[in-house]
A and B are shown apart, each in its own frame.
Chain A
Amino acid sequence: MSLSYQTVTLDGDIPDRQARLVFRHCGLLAVLSCLSEIHEDLAGQWFIEALFGDQPPPVKQTFQSLDEFEAWLSQG
């Protein structure tokens, strides 16, 4: 699976503004945000803000790393 990432900053008041747009075959597949310290134990993990495509909704919403996100995606 070939994914590419673009670093973006999310608009709004939320503290989790550092984010990645995830592209697959030039189409936007997901928006992931990096969770800030307000989430305590989850800080630094990647959270699915939006997911496009036909994969089932994830049971797990946060991922330790982008590699873990890609591994979950490949299982779908």
Chain B
Amino acid sequence: MSANDNDALAPVIRKLGRLAALQPADCDAIRSLPFRTRSAAANQFLVREGDQITECCILLKGYACRHKTTSSGARQIVSFHLPGDILDLQHILLARADHNLQTITAATLAWVPTSELKRLGQERPAVGDAFWRDTLVDASIFREWVLNVGRRDAKSRIAHMLCEFAARREVAGLGSPERFELPMTQEQIGDATGMTSVHVNRMLHELANSGVIARNKREVEITDWARMRAIADFDPAYLHAAA
């Protein structure tokens, strides 16, 4: 367990700083949290539904997702995560995992005792506000995903997922929203949008044929943002400029 390890927690400080007005003392308090850093391979489970949790997981590098599965094994991905995200902040107050956490790519993670995060949120009101807002923005994104999976057609679903990923990447300082590499497979996109990978592939081809995106394997360029937003029915207000 280390503390103050060369600002290893910088990605989460940046994220929480977008959620609340952190003072230098708040950032110092986050930096002084005890944590252990671990690498994870792509597709590695970090938490399984039913686990008893004593440490929260912060994504420092790479991409991850949350998902649930039916009793017959069908998987629904319920969120994608970028560096800086606390993957299971709810475990500050809920001891048992009600869903799975899994990496998408190779990743670096910081594991922080839940009791320490809880103490931090209580002792530093601005950090506590950031935790609250993070949870509420998560809930807003979940609501948007329910709408996306439940009520948008196949092309809009895929377009919306791409718009959201591009917008969140930009906010997280990971690069341009116009051009990016998709870390997730078509199967994972399908599991996030309630579609088969065959349908995902068709829709990506259709978006490319429409001239709103260009693709080369996993590299995506959004060539016409205005039309893409219209097809996706994408209004980033639900991200609250912070996710």
Contacts and interface: CB of A to CB of B under 8 A. Distances in A.
B201 to A, nearest CB: 6
B72 A56 contact: yes
Contacts of B196: 47, 61
Contact of B205 (A38, A59, A61): A38
A45 B197 CA distance: 14
B181 interface: no
Given A56-B72, A59-B73, A14 B202 contact: yes
Given A56-B72, A59-B73, A15 B198 contact: no
- Interface size grouping (class) on chain B: 10 to 19
B224 interface: no
A47 B206 contact: no
A38 B201 contact: yes
A15 to B, nearest CB: 7
Nearest to A42: B198
B206 A62 contact: no
Interface in B71-105: 72-74
Nearest to A40: B201
Contacts of A14: 202, 206
B205 A15 contact: yes
Interface string B188-227: 0000000011100110011001000000000000000000
A13 B206 contact: yes
A16 B197 CA distance: 14
B73 A39 contact: no
A61 B73 CA distance: 14
Interface of A: 13-16, 35, 38-39, 42, 47, 56-57, 59, 61-62
18 contacts: A13-B206, A13-B209, A14-B206, A15-B202, A15-B205, A16-B198, A16-B202, A38-B201, A38-B202, A38-B205, A42-B198, A47-B196, A56-B72, A57-B74, A59-B73, A59-B74, A61-B197, A61-B198
